[in-house]
């Protein structure tokens, strides 16, 4: 069995795939975690902290048995995923458009992180993750919940992170989180072409495709200095892919605000759905940090309502 997260792997996509594959191996179901692409810098930081080898990158899974984590939409999987046998899904987002011809195992909870669900699967099976895997899953929870300050955070996430920290031997979660977010925010040498794809997901709404990436940073100063470069790259991507909108969310994880850059066929419609206004191909989203809870539902209402 292969266990894989979504395209443009973030911490949760990477660490939950590793954690779930490790659980399956403990209970006698041979499994291997894989990636659909290069993990982002924060995810690489967690791999280094846990001294864990980066999984293989594979973009073809036809004919394989797979378990997917952190998504349930076809367009976030491999191009040939419909030719694979999906055995199960672990996710904490809205239910996507994946359907199967055979029964499957689904763990879909409205919590802050897929790794929280994976850890509770360990409990269900009376298993304990190894220390290195526990550290990875703990880091994923810190990332997805914005160190427990994000609106999707639940008490289940907090308990999971604390217990995983104990298993991993991490004495101070706050210190670990601060170091992790420093790694996440180091974008000075990262080209704009890579930044606009950071944790990008493509959503289909009423026949339109909206590509929405998100950079979570301790300060927006460096990102905003690259604004024109990013907009140029976004325009090129937008044209080549035929998207309705290409959006990059620049989220300040200290102030808990977001500035959105946009290239769109109807930028005003997008901004108005989020109660904002476009100025110079950008719009402000005060208090917004969660794409899945504070952005996607409102865009869906605007496009599909």
pLDDT at 141 over 80: yes
CATH number of the domain within which 284 lies:
3.10.310.20
pLDDT of res. 305: 76
| pLDDT higher than threshold 90 for residue 178 | yes
| Residue 300 pLDDT greater than 90, yes or no | yes
Q: Are 65 and 2 in contact (CB under 8 A)?
A: yes
Element (H, E) at 291: helix 291-294
Phi and psi at residue 222, to the nearest 5°: -65, -40
Give this prediction's pTM.
0.87
- Res. 199: pLDDT tops 90: no
Q: How far is CA 272 from the centre of its chain?
A: 25
Task: Give the burial class of 287: count Cβ atoms within 10 A of its Cβ; 0-12 exposed, 13-18 middle, 19 or more buried.
Answer: exposed
- Domain match, 176 and 246 both: no
Tell me: do 79 and 141 sit in the same domain: yes
On whether both 121 and 139 belong to a single domain, the answer is yes
Same-domain check for residues 225 and 173:
no
Q: What's the whole-number mean pLDDT along residues 150-158?
A: 96
Domain of 7, CATH number, reads 3.90.1640.10
| In the predicted structure, residue 142 carries a pLDDT above the cut 90 | yes
Among 183, 212, 238, the domain boundary falls at: 183
For position 88, what pLDDT does the model report?
Answer: 98
Which of 130, 163, 183 is where one domain is finished? 183
155, 257: one domain: no
Residues 167, 231 within the same domain: no
Q: Are residues 43 and 145 in the same domain?
A: yes
Q: Say yes or no to pLDDT of 134 above 80.
A: yes
Strands lying side by side in the sheet with 208-217: 201-205, 208-217, 245-252, 257-264, 282-285
Q: What is the pLDDT of residue 267?
A: 97
Please report which confidence band the pLDDT of residue 186 belongs to, taking 50, 70 and 90 as the band edges: confident
What is the spatial distance between Cα 83 and Cα 35, in angstroms, rounded to a whole number?
18
Q: Which string of DSSP letters, residue by residue, matches 151-191?
A: TT--HHHHHHHHHHHHHHT-S-HHHHHHHHHHHHH--TTS-
The rounded percent of the chain whose pLDDT value lies above 70 is: 100
Same domain, 125 and 216: no
Which are the contacts of 286, defined by CB distance < 8 A and separation ≥ 6? 257, 258
Q: Provide the domain limits for residue 92.
A: 2-183
Mean pLDDT (the chain) is 96
Q: Are residues 132 and 159 in the same domain?
A: yes
Number of domains in the chain: 2
Mean pLDDT within 172-200: 92
Q: How far apart are CA 161 and CA 147, in angstroms?
A: 10
Residue 132 near residue 164, CB atoms below 8 Å: no
Which residue in 95, 62, 99, 94 sits closest to 78, CA to CA?
62
Backbone angles phi, psi at 24, to 5 degrees: -60, -40
Residues 166 and 227 in one domain: no
Q: Are 101 and 38 in contact (CB under 8 A)?
A: no
Q: Would you place residue 243 in the very low, low, confident or very high pLDDT band (cuts 50, 70, 90)?
A: very high
Which of 96, 64, 104 has the alpha carbon at shortest distance from 82? Answer: 64
Looking at residue 153, its pLDDT comes to: 96
Give the CA distances from residue 166 to residues 47, 81, 122, 175, in Å, rounded to whole numbers and listed in that order: 18, 37, 15, 14
Q: Is the pLDDT of residue 81 over 90?
A: yes
Q: Return the DSSP state at 72.
A: -
Range 106-130 average pLDDT: 98
Note the pLDDT tens digit of each residue in 19-69.
Answer: 999 999 999 999 999 999 999 889 999 999 999 999 999 999 999 999 999
Q: What is the pLDDT of residue 131?
A: 98
Q: Which of 141, 156, 183 is the last residue of a domain?
A: 183
Are residues 177 and 211 both part of a single domain? no
Q: Which one, of 115, 118, 66, 76, lies nearest residue 96 by Cα? A: 76
Q: What is the pLDDT of residue 184?
A: 86
| 170 and 218 part of one domain | no
């Amino acid at each position: 069995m292969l266990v894989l997260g979504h395209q443009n792997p973030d911490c949760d996509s990477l660490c939950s795939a590793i954690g779930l594959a490790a659980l399956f191996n403990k209970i006698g179901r041979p499994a291997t975690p894989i990636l659909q692409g290069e993990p982002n810098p924060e995810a690489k930081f967690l791999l280094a902290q846990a001294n864990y080898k980066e999984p293989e990158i594979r973009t073809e899974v036809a004919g394989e048995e797979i378990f997917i984590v952190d998504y349930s939409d076809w367009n976030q999987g491999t191009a040939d995923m419909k030719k694979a046998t999906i055995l199960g899904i672990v996710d904490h987002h809205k239910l996507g458009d994946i359907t199967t011809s055979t029964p499957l195992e689904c763990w879909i909870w409205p919590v802050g992180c897929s790794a929280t669900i994976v850890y509770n699967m360990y409990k269900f099976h009376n298993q304990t993750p190894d220390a290195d895997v526990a550290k990875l899953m703990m880091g994923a929870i810190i990332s997805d919940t914005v160190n427990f300050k994000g609106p999707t955070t639940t008490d289940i996430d907090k308990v999971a992170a604390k217990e995983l920290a104990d298993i991993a031997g991490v004495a101070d979660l706050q210190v670990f989180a601060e170091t992790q977010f420093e790694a996440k925010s180091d974008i000075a040498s990262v080209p704009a072409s890579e930044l606009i794809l950071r944790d990008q997901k493509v959503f289909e709404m009423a026949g339109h495709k909206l590509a929405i990436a998100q950079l979570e940073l301790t300060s927006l100063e460096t990102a905003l200095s690259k604004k024109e470069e990013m907009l140029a790259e976004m325009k090129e991507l937008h044209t080549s892919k035929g998207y309705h909108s290409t959006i990059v969310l620049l989220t300040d994880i200290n102030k808990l605000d977001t500035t959105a850059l946009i290239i769109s066929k109807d930028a005003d419609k997008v901004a108005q759905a989020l109660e904002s206004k476009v100025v110079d191909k950008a719009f402000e989203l005060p208090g917004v940090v969660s794409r899945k809870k504070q952005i996607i539902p409102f865009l869906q209402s605007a496009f599909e309502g």
